[in-house]
């Protein structure tokens, strides 16, 4: 019996944990759980921070894309928005600064669209501290400008209000607003000809604790009517002579004579004579005579005589006589007499290429395009840097390479055209990269 009791006593004394062992185990468990919890909290906070930054970047880029699309549709960007004339501007908010003033085409009663930054009114639903508004005509269901009165619409909220002192590069460009000391979260640099706008937005970021973080900046360089950078040489002298060389003209009214060489003209009304060489003309009305050589003409109305050589004519109406040699014509109506040699009646529309590009090592670009047309085609690839357009490739290949030039952060934009015979497509979409 004593042996059994002694055995049981020995087993009891050797079972369980000591107090020191329990304290050590509890300390290790607390450390591991605490470290895991801290890591989980940190990951969650960083995820919320990244998500907030992504959402804010999307909002700013959406606003920037909206402005960029409207600039591309505009005829011109005013180099100094604050002094632009020709419209009655009624803004909302306080501390208003006009940043972009766009001259828009084909809108009755509204010549301008204005983007401006302001402080929202007291009691407004907007957070501020600054907001960006658009003042201009609204869009109808077809995506076209409506003919109603211009209205103010908020474009984006939470724009930064801290002042900065930027400068434009090149320095010849106009800074909007003009005073660097008053610039906050929205400004633009515009070239003197109103052809390029470099837009900057700085939006505020709200941290997880509700406080403001460092602002987020986005920017874009945009071209109205991309790559139409041809100049206009000539003019009207004493109301008798009008001349255009390598230029783009919307409407010309001339008494005396009109001469167009390598130019694009929307509408020309001439009393006397009209001569077009290698040009593209939408509509020509001439009293006297009209002569077209190697040109493309949409509509010609002539009283007297009409002569076309190796040209393309959409519609021609002549009273008197009409002589056409090797001309492609959609419609010709002649009262009097007509002489036609080697005429083909059709309508040629060259499809616009679709351009894409990939940046490779260093400052090299691989560019390629898709073209759905047929026939013997010549492609021309252009590069636009600081308002200067350069032809960097001519040929029939569907790809080419280019180099990125300029100083740091200079934007290089590429576009391509397709030419079949005397007909050239519109410029393709632009592919832009910064050096």
How many other CB atoms sit within 10 Å of the CB of residue 325?
15
What's the pLDDT tens digit per position in 208-256? 565 667 788 999 999 886 444 443 333 333 333 344 444 444 444 444 4
**344 class by beta-carbon count within 10 Å (0-12 exposed, 13-18 middle, 19+ buried):** exposed
CA 418, CA 395: separation in Å to the nearest integer? 10
**Strand bridging mode 248-261 / 378-385:** unpaired
- With a CB cutoff of 8 Å and minimum separation 6, the contacts of 169 are 189, 407
Backbone angles phi, psi at 12, to 5 degrees: -65, -40
Residue 5's pLDDT is 63
Whole-angstrom distance, CA of residue 356 vs CA of residue 377: 19
Please give the DSSP secondary-structure letter assigned to residue 278. Answer: S
Give the single-character DSSP code of 120: P
Q: Which of 383, 359, 379, 377 is nearest to 369 (CA)?
A: 379
Q: CB under 8 Å to 327, separation ≥6 — which residues?
A: 308, 309, 310, 311, 312, 313, 343
Number of neighbours of residue 53 by Cβ within 10 angstroms: 13
Instruction: Cis check for the bond before 129: say yes or no (omega within 30 of 0).
Output: yes
Whole-prediction pTM? 0.48
Q: Could you give the 3-state DSSP secondary structure of residue 177?
A: coil
CA dihedral 133, 97, 128, 54 (to 10 degrees): 70
Question: Do 138 and 132 touch, CB atoms closer than 8 A?
Answer: no
Tell the residue number behind the tokens 């658009």, with chain if given.
Answer: 134
Distance from C-alpha of 341 to C-alpha of 412, rounded to nearest angstrom = 47
At which residue do the structure tokens 């000391």 appear? 181
Length of the chain: 435
Give Cβ neighbours of residue 35 (< 8 Å, ≥ 6 apart). none
C-alpha pair distances (Å), 382 with each of 112, 388, 402, 434:
30, 10, 10, 16
Tell me, what's the pLDDT at 253? 45
> Splitting the chain (435 residues) into consecutive groups of 10 residues, what average pLDDT does each group show?
63 72 93 94 86 86 93 90 86 93 74 91 89 91 83 93 91 91 92 92 76 82 63 37 45 47 49 52 51 53 50 49 47 42 54 88 87 91 88 94 87 91 88 85
Q: Is 310 exposed, middle or buried (0-12, 13-18, 19+ CB in 10 A)?
A: middle
**pLDDT digit string (tens) for 375-426?**
899 999 999 888 788 999 999 999 999 889 988 878 888 999 999 988 898 8
pLDDT of the residue at 415 = 92
Domain 354-434 top-level CATH class: mainly beta
Q: How many CB atoms lie under 10 A from the CB of residue 255?
A: 16
**In 5-124, where do the E strands start and end?**
76-77, 94-103, 112-119
Pairing state of beta strands 130-136 and 112-119? antiparallel
CA distance 435 to 423: 34
Tokens 């208003």 label which residue?
A: 96
- Give the whole-angstrom CA distance, residue 17 versus residue 207: 49
Domain boundaries, the chain: 57-222, 240-341, 354-434
For residues 216 and 200, the answer to whether their CB atoms sit within 8 Å is no
Residue 295's pLDDT is: 52
């Amino acid at each position: 019996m004593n042996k059994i009791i002694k055995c049981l006593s020995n087993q009891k004394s050797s079972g369980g944990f000591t107090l020191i062992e329990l304290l050590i185990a509890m300390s290790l468990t607390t450390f591991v759980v605490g470290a895991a919890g801290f890591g989980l909290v940190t990951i969650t906070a960083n995820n919320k921070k990244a998500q907030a930054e992504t959402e804010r970047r999307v909002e700013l880029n959406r606003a920037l894309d909206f402005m960029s699309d409207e600039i591309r549709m505009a005829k011109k960007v005013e180099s100094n928005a604050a002094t632009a004339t020709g419209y009655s501007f009624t803004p909302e908010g306080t501390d208003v600064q006009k940043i972009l003033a766009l001259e828009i085409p084909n809108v009755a009663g509204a010549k301008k669209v204005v983007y401006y930054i302001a402080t929202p009114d007291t009691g407004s639903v907007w957070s501020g501290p600054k907001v960006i508004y658009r003042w201009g005509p609204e869009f109808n269901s077809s995506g076209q400008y409506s003919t109603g009165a211009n209205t103010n619409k908020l474009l984006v909220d939470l724009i930064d209000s801290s002042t900065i002192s930027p400068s434009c590069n090149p320095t010849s460009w106009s800074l909007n607003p003009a005073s660097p000391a008053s610039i906050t979260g929205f400004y633009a640099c515009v070239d003197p000809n109103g052809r390029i706008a470099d837009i900057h937005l700085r939006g505020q970021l709200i941290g997880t604790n509700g406080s403001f973080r460092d602002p987020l900046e986005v920017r874009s360089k945009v071209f109205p009517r991309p790559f139409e950078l041809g100049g206009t040489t000539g003019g009207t002298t004493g109301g008798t002579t009008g001349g255009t060389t390598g230029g783009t003209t919307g409407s010309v009214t001339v008494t005396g004579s009109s001469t167009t060489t390598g130019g694009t003209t929307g509408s020309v009304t001439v009393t006397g004579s009209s001569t077009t060489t290698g040009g593209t003309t939408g509509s020509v009305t001439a009293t006297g005579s009209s002569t077209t050589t190697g040109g493309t003409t949409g509509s010609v109305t002539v009283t007297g005589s009409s002569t076309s050589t190796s040209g393309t004519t959409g519609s021609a109406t002549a009273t008197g006589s009409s002589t056409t040699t090797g001309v492609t014509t959609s419609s010709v109506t002649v009262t009097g007499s007509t002489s036609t040699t080697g005429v083909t009646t059709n309508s040629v529309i060259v499809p616009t290429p679709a351009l894409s590009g990939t940046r490779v090592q260093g400052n090299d670009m691989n560019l390629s395009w898709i073209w759905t047309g047929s026939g013997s085609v010549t492609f021309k690839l252009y590069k636009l840097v600081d308002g200067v357009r350069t032809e960097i490739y001519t040929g029939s290949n569907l790809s080419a390479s280019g180099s990125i030039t300029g100083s740091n952060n200079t934007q290089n934009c590429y576009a391509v055209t397709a030419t079949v015979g005397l007909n050239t497509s519109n410029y393709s979409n632009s592919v832009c990269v910064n050096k």
